[in-house]
Structure 1
Amino acid sequence: MRTSTRGSRRMMTLAVVAALTTGLLAGCAEDSDDGSSDSDSGSGGGGKTTLTIGTFGVFGYKQAGLYDEYMKQNPDITIKENVTTKTDVYWPKTLTRLQAGSGTDDLQAIEIGNVTEAVQTQADKFVDLGKEVDKSQWLDWKTAQATTKDGKTIALGTDIGPMAICYRKDLFQKAGIETDRTKLAEQWKGDWSKFVDLGKDYMKKAPSGTKFVDSASSVYNASFGGESERYYDKDDNVIWDKSKGVKQAWDDAMTVATSNMSSKLKQFEDPWNQALAKGSFAAVACPAWMIGYIQEKSGEAGKGNWDVAAAPTASNWGGAFVGVPTASKHQKEAIALAKWLTAPEQQAKVFAKQASFPSTPSAYPNLKPLPATTEYFSNAPITQIFSDSAKSIPTQIFGAKDQPINTSINDIGIVQVEQKGKTPDQGWDAATKEIKDVLGQ
């Protein structure tokens, strides 16, 4: 994943794309490089207009050949992509340039964890793209995330991360648990606590050396990813300590953290990768972009043992946008490029190469994972499952400090309980202290 919301892991895709040219995988990680790099898609000069696009991680536009295609269609345009590997470097740098009114790229990418801050504090620094497009092309909730209260849409949606449950049906079978994806989805439909309850049943006859899930944090984020009201309310009041969604997700996570059903792993780190290869946990909440990663890390031994079922509730993990700063010296041309890059046809092309799941529903009927990927996941109707989830995700309310609040709950609160043996109350108190520091309270 390319964002800190998704764990800042977009660069992990690079290792997988070679094997999965068109799998359900959104590149979503970054490497250890804190710096920036420039990537030219063509030479300028000759009276051409050079448009720059600032991105973080791997967006897939260059990889899918979109820049070359656009320049071929528009020979008077040259496109230069300026890539900053890490979002925690990219966004502060972008904010500084937006506020200065100079130095921005002609097109500027915005990660979902930063879009609320952009909407609330930088809206006047972006062109209103809502006046330039038919907004019905995008999922309503996606467009709403980049739209101000007075109706200005500062950026157009790129990818999203609809959620499902990926599970090892061989391990489920050995534990005496239902393996049929449709029946499983019905068992836990509408309530993540039902998914957790299934974990209790799994552990009664769990195959030796296995756990039900990878971590309590993954359960928290999956459950919380389907909530409309999160850490802020619609009036931008901080309500993290009163939110029903937070309480429910925390309770689900604590049931896992205080039981024997968690492998207590941090996603995408080496021990987690090794657990995938060994088949050490039976289920994981997986956004569309995680499918290819699971396939690559589980390897040949996992082929036909993995399956995919609809998640208890429609949930989202990740996504980004592209906007045009008012400081662009080539606004007209930049707007045209932004519209073209984020149109359904181009989002489908990025999916075919990078497998980032589109935020434009009209692209869904023609999305097809590789036959090898479908076979790997027991011929599950992967595209249908993720498409149905995408269409049902509610409009979510984000706030300026959403990301650090979420990090405090996961990396401090839940870790205190799951890793250090503290009580849920002690974990909550630790998270509360950190959050109050973040909010300056």
Structure 2
Amino acid sequence: MRTTIRGTRHRAVALLAAAVLGAGLLGGCAEDSDRPGAAGSPGADAGKTTLTVGVFGVFGYKQAGLYDAYMKLHPNIRIKETSIERNENYYPQLLTHLSTGSGLADIQAVEVNNIAEVTATQAGKLVDLSKAPGVRKADFIPWKWAQATDKSGKTVGLGTDIGPMAVCYRKDLFAKAGLPTDRNAVAALWAGDWGKYLDVGERYKAKAPAGTAFVDSASGVYNAVISSSAERYYDRDGKLVYKDSPSVRQAWDAAMRAATGKLTARLQQFQKSWDQAYANGRFATVSCPPWMLGYIKEKSGDQGRDVWDVAAAPKPGNWGGSFLAVPEAGRHKSEAVKLAAWLTAPEQQAKLFTKQASFPSARAAYGLPAVAGAKHPYFGDAPIGKIFAAAAEGIPNQVLGPKDLTVNQNITDVGVLQVDQQGKTPEQGWRAAVESIDNALDQ
């Protein structure tokens, strides 16, 4: 499991989210693949075409019953999924297999932080899925479609999920600090500007309940702000420009304001101390995409029910998401294309959201009842379908680069962390981040 804006994180907590999001949103799904005579059981697959799906972490297709549903619709197909837990182990193997043309699954997942490199360097080894039967570009969020489309118009991956950002906040702590608690009123406090979010933090700090902070971490602030920017670490010509990027500077300054202004609980996300802070009510807000809701519920426990709520973020941003690609060297290309198209169709994406908390990248799913009517009982029946759909529509078409993950990780885990937890100055933190990035990139 990793910190910062990295898609592997939400894969690792997807099963947890499915277990704890709440009966009002997520339902159980009976698995029948182990029953005698069921698809995938011994003796049931003779003469069938086996389609292999290579993923990292938990994508949820099996858990949500989508593989079983497809095999029932296509009795001649057997689906076998292989998963490597961490993307940093999965992705190098994928590149190796693409370069040799061997060892590939019929369908391969690609994480959002790798899609720019795959699209730029591997497009010739992947099927153009824009021409797949049943696939409609208009069904998808435009920026998500664009991320996997090269300059010639070839689309090498179909979007699975996305991570539109909201802000989760504790109503009890807001009330004690003299702030409004209604989610619409809270969203209005910081609408349109992350600076206003920190202004609210200053108001909270002035009357904060003892032992609490406004936000969990400065790195969380950095990631939230940078996620809402179109140009970050690379410009549109593919040049690495993070040192001079206005968006990076804005996100860095916001994180530094939070850290030096003592607005944070000085935590590192997804560490044990962060988990314990949920249970102890140590911070009032955290930036959260849909998949984070289950994590908050599990860590906060029963005492957090109807205490946490969800409000729109100051600006729409994205944390997480992946794609399905079909290698040209695959053994069953035509059947693989059909399966990839079916798994990413709006109806299946809506079902995956209901079962696994993976928010659809297919905008056509937003009008379906499973998404449009989704409410979360743990978070005061917050209309999460509407909140996250509105955020998804407003996310900018971000410029992605091959080393986004390296740059982001070193800024947050080296630079920001030194200021937030070690008391270094913002200048010292930035120099440490740049030095670490340069070493990682051999510059």
TM-score (normalised: structure 1): 0.93
Q: Mapping of 1:97-136 within 5 angstroms? A: 97-132=97-132, 133-136=135-138
**Residues 50 and 78, structure 1, Cα contact 8 Å, conserved in 2:** yes
Q: Mapping of 1:248-327 within 5 angstroms? A: 248-327=250-329
**Residues 42 and 80, structure 1, Cα contact 8 Å, conserved in 2:** no
Deviation at 1:371, TM superposition (A): 10
Q: Which residue identity lines up with residue 283 of structure 2 in the other structure?
A: F
Q: Which residue identity lines up with residue 5 of structure 1 in the other structure?
A: R
**Residues 125 and 327, structure 2, Cα contact 8 Å, conserved in 1:** yes
Q: Mapping of 1:58-73 within 5 angstroms? A: 58-73=58-73
Name 2:186's counterpart in structure 1: 184
- Is 1:12 the counterpart of 2:7? The answer is no
Superposed CA deviations along residues 298-345 of structure 1, whole A, max 9, x for unmatched, are 111111111111100011000000010000121111101110011001
5+ residue gaps, structure 2? 27-38
**Residues 106 and 328, structure 1, Cα contact 8 Å, conserved in 2:** yes
Residues 16, 131 of structure 1: alpha-carbon distance in 2 compared, 3 angstrom cutoff: closer
Query: Following the alignment from structure 1 to structure 2, what is the Cα–Cα distance between the partners of residues 333 and 7?
Result: 27
- Is 1:330 the counterpart of 2:336? The answer is no
Q: Kindly report the root-mean-square deviation, in angstroms, between the aligned alpha carbons of the 2 structures.
A: 2.1
Q: Which residue identity lines up with residue 140 of structure 1 in the other structure?
A: P
Deviation at 1:392, TM superposition (A): 0.8
Deviation at 1:399, TM superposition (A): 0.4
Which shows bigger deviation, 223-232 or 289-298?
289-298
Deviation at 1:41, TM superposition (A): 4.6
Residues 41, 103 of structure 1: alpha-carbon distance in 2 compared, 3 angstrom cutoff: same
**Residues 376 and 384, structure 2, Cα contact 8 Å, conserved in 1:** yes
Superposed CA deviations along residues 62-103 of structure 1, whole A, max 9, x for unmatched, are 011111111111111111111111111111011100000111
Query: Following the alignment from structure 1 to structure 2, what is the Cα–Cα distance between the partners of residues 19 and 434?
Result: 38
Query: Following the alignment from structure 1 to structure 2, what is the Cα–Cα distance between the partners of residues 369 and 124?
Result: 36
Deviation at 1:23, TM superposition (A): 6.8
Deviation at 1:267, TM superposition (A): 1.4
**Residues 159 and 322, structure 2, Cα contact 8 Å, conserved in 1:** yes
**Residues 258 and 418, structure 1, Cα contact 8 Å, conserved in 2:** yes
Name 1:410's counterpart in structure 2: 412
Name 1:145's counterpart in structure 2: 147
Counting aligned pairs with the same residue, the percent is 54
**Residues 20 and 297, structure 2, Cα contact 8 Å, conserved in 1:** no
Deviation at 1:264, TM superposition (A): 1.0
Name 1:173's counterpart in structure 2: 175
Name 1:33's counterpart in structure 2: none
Deviation at 1:21, TM superposition (A): 5.9
Residues 2, 366 of structure 1: alpha-carbon distance in 2 compared, 3 angstrom cutoff: farther
**Residues 24 and 375, structure 2, Cα contact 8 Å, conserved in 1:** yes
Query: Following the alignment from structure 1 to structure 2, what is the Cα–Cα distance between the partners of residues 239 and 323?
Result: 29
- Is 1:54 the counterpart of 2:54? The answer is yes
5+ residue gaps, structure 1? 26-39
Q: Which residue identity lines up with residue 115 of structure 1 in the other structure?
A: I
Residues 73, 368 of structure 1: alpha-carbon distance in 2 compared, 3 angstrom cutoff: closer
Query: Following the alignment from structure 2 to structure 1, what is the Cα–Cα distance between the partners of residues 339 and 130?
Result: 15
Query: Following the alignment from structure 1 to structure 2, what is the Cα–Cα distance between the partners of residues 136 and 371?
Result: 22
Query: Following the alignment from structure 1 to structure 2, what is the Cα–Cα distance between the partners of residues 92 and 14?
Result: 25
Name 1:36's counterpart in structure 2: none
- The count of residues paired between Structure 1 and Structure 2 equals 427
Query: Following the alignment from structure 1 to structure 2, what is the Cα–Cα distance between the partners of residues 310 and 68?
Result: 36
Which shows bigger deviation, 379-388 or 140-149?
379-388
Deviation at 1:366, TM superposition (A): 3.0
- Is 1:88 the counterpart of 2:94? The answer is no
Task: Kindly report structure 1 stretches of 4+ aligned residues shifted beyond 4 Å.
Answer: 1-4, 21-25, 40-45, 367-373
Superposed CA deviations along residues 46-67 of structure 1, whole A, max 9, x for unmatched, are 2211110101111111011111
> Which of 232, 235, 239 is the matching residue for 1:233?
235
Residues 41, 259 of structure 1: alpha-carbon distance in 2 compared, 3 angstrom cutoff: farther
Residues 131, 22 of structure 1: alpha-carbon distance in 2 compared, 3 angstrom cutoff: farther
Query: Following the alignment from structure 1 to structure 2, what is the Cα–Cα distance between the partners of residues 272 and 222?
Result: 17
